[in-house]
């Protein structure tokens, strides 16, 4: 497996990324290769790609980046070398379709493996795993064992909440779900209330928010489910295991509409040079073997019915997912982003 990495690749860095990736993708079209653009971290997809190669003999070539891959593919047009885009968040999946870089995936195998709720009706994206947007709480300082997203805007939590950027796709999707449930006015009031309850300006990733709980900087943090597993099992950075020990997991809105969930997923490139290999990869990721890896190694919630969650994830409690259609969330993303700007979320409390 060949991996080319880029820490950040917005449109301004496009030329740099193209030159970096050139070494990764073979100029000749080989039937036993598949070229992947991935927003997912290498450590998360490596076990899946290894198992895919062991099963099929197809070699994956991967370009990894945090941003800019959809823009890059759109700029490359018919000359784009990628076959499959792996990403997180329904917003990025629908953005890829809107940018015209996808084609419909015609596969009875995929349709049989993944519930229709997590498939694009036109076939332009496929859900692969599910993650929940939890609230992490200090074991020592937070006594309650239940919470709602709405409660995060309660003044009783003033100076007690840590969060990453309001413009991050994970938080945009959460706010978009609140818009869908409660309307724009209530969603904006919520965003303003949470901003005023922040302990500091939004910064870092989801793990950094749990670090804030460990240090005493905050009592509550918003984060995706699999980050807890990643910290609990991180032997290379044992300090993260200590962060994880300081926090407990609360499933927001477990007693009413359910906890906000999102997905990781894949699209097949419109001009995929290895289309058959790309379809085989997506089929493998939706298969029982692939879904078990998502569950047991990545510690995400599998989408294929009958594949159990890992023991670690099960130990956290029972997830009652919000049944809001993902397409409904995607429709409100632009409004959610505008709200975050209007309330100055990323400026932090008091700004």
pLDDT digits (tens, 9 = 90+) for 303-341: 999 999 999 999 999 999 999 988 889 999 999 999 999
Query: What average pLDDT does the chain have?
Result: 92
Q: What is the pLDDT of residue 25?
A: 61
Range of the domain at 66: 2-130+263-310
Q: Give the residue from 3, 40, 44, 41 showing the smallest Cα distance to 297.
A: 44
Annotated binding site: 226-227
Q: Are residues 215 and 294 in the same domain?
A: no
Same domain, 303 and 329: no
pLDDT value of position 44: 87
**293 and 151, same structural domain?**
no
| Residue ranges in the chain whose pLDDT is less than 70 | 1-31
The answer to whether residues 205 and 226 belong to one domain is: yes
Tokens 């209007």 — which residue?
342
Cα-only R_g, the chain: 20
Residue 248 sits in a domain of what CATH number?
A: 3.40.190.10
Q: What is the β-pairing status of strands 126-138 and 84-88?
A: unpaired
As to burial, measured by CB atoms within 10 angstroms (0-12 exposed, 13-18 middle, 19+ buried), residue 233 is: middle
Closest C-alpha to 82, from 100, 63, 96? 63
Residues 118 and 267 in one domain: yes
Torsion angle (degrees, nearest 10) of CA 289, 325, 186, 166? 40
Structural element, H or E, at residue 266: strand 261-269
Which residue numbers belong to the known binding site for Fe cation? 226-227
Q: Which residue has the tokens 């899946």?
A: 48
Phi first, then psi: give them for residue 30, nearest 5 degrees: -115, 135
pLDDT of residue 43: 86
Beta-carbon-side half-sphere exposure of residue 219 (alpha carbons within 13 Å): 12
Q: What is the pLDDT of residue 327?
A: 86
Strand partners, 230: none
Q: Are residues 152 and 221 in the same domain?
A: yes
Which run of H or E residues covers position 60? Answer: strand 59-65
> Does residue 291 share a domain with residue 210?
no
Q: Answer yes or no: do 126 and 136 share one domain.
A: no
Question: What's residue 280's pLDDT?
Answer: 98
CB-facing half-sphere around the CA of 291: CA atoms within 13 A: 20
Regarding whether 288 and 328 lie in a shared domain, the answer is no
| Domains identified in the chain, total number | 2
Q: pTM above 0.75?
A: yes
Do 189 and 210 reside in the same domain of the chain?
yes
Domain shared by 142 and 242, yes or no: yes
Same domain as 159, residue 48: no
């Amino acid at each position: 497996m060949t991996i080319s990495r880029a820490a950040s690749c917005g449109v301004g860095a496009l030329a740099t990324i193209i030159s970096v990736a050139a070494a990764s993708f073979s100029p000749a079209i080989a039937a036993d290769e598949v070229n992947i653009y991935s927003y997912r971290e290498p450590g998360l997809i490596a076990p899946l790609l290894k198992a895919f190669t062991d099963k099929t003999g197809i070699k994956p070539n991967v370009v990894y980046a945090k941003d800019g891959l959809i823009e890059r593919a759109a700029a490359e047009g018919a000359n784009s070398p990628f076959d499959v885009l792996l990403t997180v968040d329904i917003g990025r999946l629908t953005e890829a379709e809107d940018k015209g870089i996808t084609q419909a995936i015609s596969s009875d195998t995929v349709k049989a493996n993944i519930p229709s709720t997590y498939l694009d009706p036109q076939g332009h994206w496929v859900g692969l795993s599910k993650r929940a947007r939890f609230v992490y709480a200090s074991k020592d300082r937070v006594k309650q064992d239940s919470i709602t997203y709405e409660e995060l805007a309660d003044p009783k939590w003033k100076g007690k909440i840590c969060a990453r950027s309001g413009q991050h796709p994970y938080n945009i999707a959460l706010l978009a779900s609140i818009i869908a449930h409660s309307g724009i006015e209530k969603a904006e009031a919520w965003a303003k209330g949470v901003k005023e309850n922040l302990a500091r300006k939004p910064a870092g990733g989801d793990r950094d928010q749990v670090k804030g709980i460990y240090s005493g900087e905050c009592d509550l943090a918003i984060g995706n489910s699999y980050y807890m597993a990643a910290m609990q099992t991180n032997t290379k950075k044992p300090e993260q295991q200590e962060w994880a020990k300081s926090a407990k997991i609360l499933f927001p809105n477990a007693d009413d509409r359910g906890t906000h969930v999102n997905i990781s997923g894949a699209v097949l490139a419109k001009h995929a040079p290895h289309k058959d290999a790309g379809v085989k990869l997506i089929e493998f990721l939706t298969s029982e073997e692939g879904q078990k890896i998502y569950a047991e190694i990545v510690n995400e919630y599998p989408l294929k019915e009958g594949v159990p969650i890992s023991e670690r994830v099960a130990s956290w409690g029972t997830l009652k997912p919000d049944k809001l259609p993902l397409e409904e969330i995607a429709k409100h993303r632009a409004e959610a982003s505008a709200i975050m700007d209007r309330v100055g979320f990323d400026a932090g409390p008091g700004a």
